[in-house]
């Protein structure tokens, strides 16, 4: 009985804490929403326009944001994250124009899908992408959903075909499944036709099992030539995102000389387990999120920017 009463007390206290957090976050969100209004001329007393409907809309948006952040805070504690992941800003109203990174072009690039490592944005957001498909850890699906962390998968059929249902569950949780070829070959070593078979073949596999042909393609190891991009385009690919940094279970690796994150950076990681690196998928998420959050970044949905 004593234990039951204690439990009830704890539950009540937790509920109150959550309510206080919602209130605090609502106020913060509304305040920042109002601050961005930026009108300079102040109307005379009694002449302020009544903005009731937009204010109410803002209020409900702020409440939704606050509720998400409360859920995230609790999930972050449950999953042992050092800090609560930061909330991402709303998706851009106008999608940025994506161009190929300087030095990454092939001949005739203007008519081919762009190759890039960072999305042009001023927002402090980064994007998580997970490749291949070897490790199929159910904990990852739960963890990312509970933390409300978006990510994008790039799948290779020789690994995914061990269990298509795992990635169906991922798709059902809002993750976009993209093309990483049938057999994970070094693409420049294949003929144009060979590359087409690898890319178009994976388009067919994803369409068959998941109902949709991907628009994004990532070449294995990040290696490609002009034929790769021509083949990808002919298979219906619109863009070729590479990565600016790579997350492991116990460390980060950086492409840029400053060994840092930048607004819009795409982070690569892999579906791997203890046999491939020093930890589990949840260990990798804890590690990468510590870096991302400590540096003041939020994780946003790649598809919202493409």
Give the binding range for Zn ion (CB under 5 A) out of 58-66, 138-146, 217-225, 273-281: 217-225
User: String of b and e for 124-141 (b: at least 16 CB within 10 Å)?
Assistant: bbbbbbbbbbbbbeeebb
The nearest distance, CB 125 to Zn ion, in angstroms, is 24
Residues 6-25 that bind Zn ion (CB under 5 A): none
Nearer to Zn ion, 85 or 220 (CB): 220
Verify binding: residue 227, Zn ion, rule CB under 5 A: no
Query: 164-172 and 192-210 are packed helices; what angle lies between their axes, rounded to 10 degrees?
Result: 70
Closest approach of Cβ 3 to Zn ion, in Å?
50
**Which of 88, 284 has the CB closer to Zn ion?**
284
Site size with Zn ion, rule: CB under 5 A? 3
> Considering the complex, what minimum distance in angstroms separates the CB of residue 215 from Zn ion?
18
Stretch that binds Zn ion, among 23-31, 63-71, 132-140, 225-233 (CB under 5 A): 132-140
> What are the structure tokens assigned to 286, written together?
């804890």
Q: How far is the CB of 108 from Zn ion (least distance, A)?
A: 26
Here's the x/- map for Zn ion, 95-124, by CB under 5 A: it reads as ------------------------------
Residue sitting closest to Zn ion (CB): 131
Q: Which region among 36-44, 71-79, 131-139, 244-252 touches Zn ion (by CB under 5 A)? A: 131-139
Shortest Cβ 118–Zn ion spacing (Å): 19
**Binding of residue 132 to Zn ion (CB under 5 A):** yes
- Binding-site member from 124, 131, 195, 237 for Zn ion (CB under 5 A): 131
Q: How far is the CB of 222 from Zn ion (least distance, A)?
A: 9
SS3 string, the chain, reads: CHHHHHHHHHHHHHHHHHHHHHHHHHHHHHHHHHHCCCCCCCCCCCCCCCCHHHHHHHHHHHHHHHHHHHHHHHHHHHCCCCCCCECCCCCCCCCCCCCCCCCCCCCCHHHCCCEECECCCCCCEEEEEEEECCCCCHHHHHHHHHCCCCCEEEECHHHHCCCHHHHHHHHHCCCEEEECCCCCCCHHHCCHHHHHHHHHHHHHHHHHHHCCCCCEECCHHHCCCHHHHHHHHHCCCCEEECCCEEECCCCEEECCCCCCCCCCEEEEEECCCCCCCCCCHHHHHHHHHHHHHHCCCEECCHHHHC
* Contact range with Zn ion by CB under 5 A, out of 6-14, 115-123, 126-134, 144-152: 126-134
| Distances in whole angstroms, Cα of residue 222 to Cα of each of 145, 169, 181, 192 | 28, 27, 12, 17
Closer CB to Zn ion, 132 or 198, in the complex: 132
Q: Which is nearer to Zn ion, 150 or 220 (CB)?
A: 220
Interface with Zn ion, residue 135, by CB under 5 A: no
Q: Interface residues for Zn ion in 170-199 (CB under 5 A)?
A: none
* Alpha-carbon dihedral sign for residues 117, 253, 249, 276: positive
131 or 157: CB nearest Zn ion = 131
Q: Is 73 or 156 the residue whose CB approaches Zn ion more closely?
A: 156
Residue ranges binding Zn ion (CB under 5 A): 131-132, 220
């Amino acid at each position: 009985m004593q234990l039951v009463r204690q439990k009830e007390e704890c539950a009540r206290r937790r509920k109150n804490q959550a309510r206080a957090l919602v209130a605090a976050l609502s106020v913060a969100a509304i305040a920042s929403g109002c601050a961005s209004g930026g009108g300079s001329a102040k109307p005379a007393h009694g002449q302020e326009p009544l903005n009731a409907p937009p204010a109410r809309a803002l209020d409900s948006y702020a409440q939704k944001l606050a509720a998400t952040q409360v859920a995230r805070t609790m999930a972050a504690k449950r999953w042992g994250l050092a800090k609560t992941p930061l909330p991402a800003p709303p998706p851009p109203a106008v999608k940025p124009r994506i161009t190929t990174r300087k030095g990454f072009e092939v001949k005739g690039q203007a008519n081919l899908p762009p190759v890039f490592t960072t999305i042009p944005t001023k927002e402090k957001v980064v994007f998580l992408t997970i490749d291949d498909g070897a490790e199929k850890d159910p904990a990852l699906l739960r963890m990312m959903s509970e933390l409300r962390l978006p990510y994008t998968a790039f799948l290779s059929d020789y690994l995914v075909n061990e269990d298509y249902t795992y990635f169906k569950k991922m798709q059902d949780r809002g993750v976009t499944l993209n093309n990483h070829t049938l057999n994970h070959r070094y693409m420049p070593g294949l003929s144009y036709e060979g590359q087409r078979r690898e890319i178009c073949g994976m388009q067919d596999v994803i369409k068959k099992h998941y109902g949709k042909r991907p628009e994004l393609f990532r070449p294995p190891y990040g290696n490609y030539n002009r034929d790769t991009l021509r083949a990808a385009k002919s298979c219906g690919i619109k863009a070729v995102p590479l990565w600016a940094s790579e997350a492991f279970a116990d460390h980060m690796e950086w492409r840029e000389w400053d060994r840092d994150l930048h607004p819009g950076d795409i982070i690569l990681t892999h579906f791997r387990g203890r046999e491939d690196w020093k930890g589990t998928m949840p260990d990798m998420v804890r590690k990468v999120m510590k870096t991302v959050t400590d540096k003041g970044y939020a994780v946003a949905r790649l598809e919202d920017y493409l």
